[in-house]
Each structure stands twice: as structure tokens, then as C-alpha cells.
Amino acid sequence: MRGELQVFEHHLYAEQMQRVLRSAINAFPRVFATPKILLTTLPGEHAVLDLLMLEAVLAPEGAFCIPLGIETPQDDIRRAALAHQANVVALAFSGSFPLRQAIDALTTLRHELAPSVTLWAGGEMARRLRKAPPGVVVLQDLPQAIPALKTWRSQSVPRPRAL
């Protein structure tokens, strides 16, 4: 953004960071625990490093991450959440993603997902949101992912059944 890096240098850095993050993520045993978190971006959004950083933060906490990669159409996000029985859908947004488009997509997706599926929105764009769309949890920075995970777990603990 400051013009200190050439485009090719940014691409090289991004590729190296992807390797480092994937290596770190793969160092943790794959745990089939809850929540199942579907990670992706909307079409036109390329925040792959944001997704990998989120997965790198959540994997050591025992979350089962399902990375779809970037630019997943909304209907495919809905279908993937259903097929994988996701508990959380986490979308990453860069600062350049249009705010109005993000709000509209989050609102639509919230209505399309089952009520039991939590919807997280994070990344640089999330900092520009004055008010989260109803039913959307906004993670304004990466460290908020751990409290969001703990909140999900505390609200989703199975309650004993009455006899």
C-alpha cells in the first residue's frame, strides 16, 4: 500500500507465507472435533493469507477447519456448509472489498444458512463495519478468533436431557 514493494515481491512474499502457514497447520494432528469451521472468501476476494492465518490460529485450539480456498460462490458456500455439517462459516475480507457488497452478501448468506450455523466475518474490511448485519459475528482482528471460538463452544455445549 505504501508502494515499497513491487507486485512480484508481494506475490513472492504471499507464496512463501502460504508455505510457512500450511506447514505450521499440518504440524498439528488433524482432530475431528467441534466446531467444524468452513473457511472461504466470496467471489472477487483473494484474502488467502487471512484464511490461512485463521486456520493456523484455530487448529491448535482443536477446531476442525475445512478450507474451501478463495472465491467460493455463495450458493456453493451454503451447499458446502450443509454437506460438511459445518457449525461455523468463516469468511475473510480484505480492506479493498466493497463494504456494501460484503454487507449484502453476509445478510443473504445468513438467511440461506441453517440457523444453527454461526457466520463469522473477518479481515480488514470488518474493521470498517459500523454495525454487524444481524446474526453475523464480526472478527475485527485475528486475536478475536479465540474468544469467538470459546463463545461458540460455551453456547453449544450439549445440555443434559431431562428424563
Which cell numbers hold the place of 4? 515499497
Q: Calculate the CA dihedral of residues 61, 10, 90, 77 and round it to 10 degrees.
A: -130
Q: Give CA–CA dist 102/25, Å, rounded.
A: 28
Per residue in 94-144, pLDDT (tens digit) is: 988 999 999 999 999 999 999 999 999 998 888 888 888 999 999 989 999
**Residue 75: CATH number of its domain:** 3.40.50.280
Domain that holds residue 79: 7-155
Residue 163 lies in a domain: no
Q: Is residue 2 in a domain?
A: no
Cβ pair 36, 84 in contact under 8 A: yes
- CA 5 from chain centre, in angstroms, equals 27
Round the average pLDDT of the chain to a whole number and report it: 86
Q: Are the CB atoms for 91 and 41 separated by under 8 Å?
A: yes
The reported pLDDT for the residue numbered 162 is: 40
116 within domain boundaries: yes
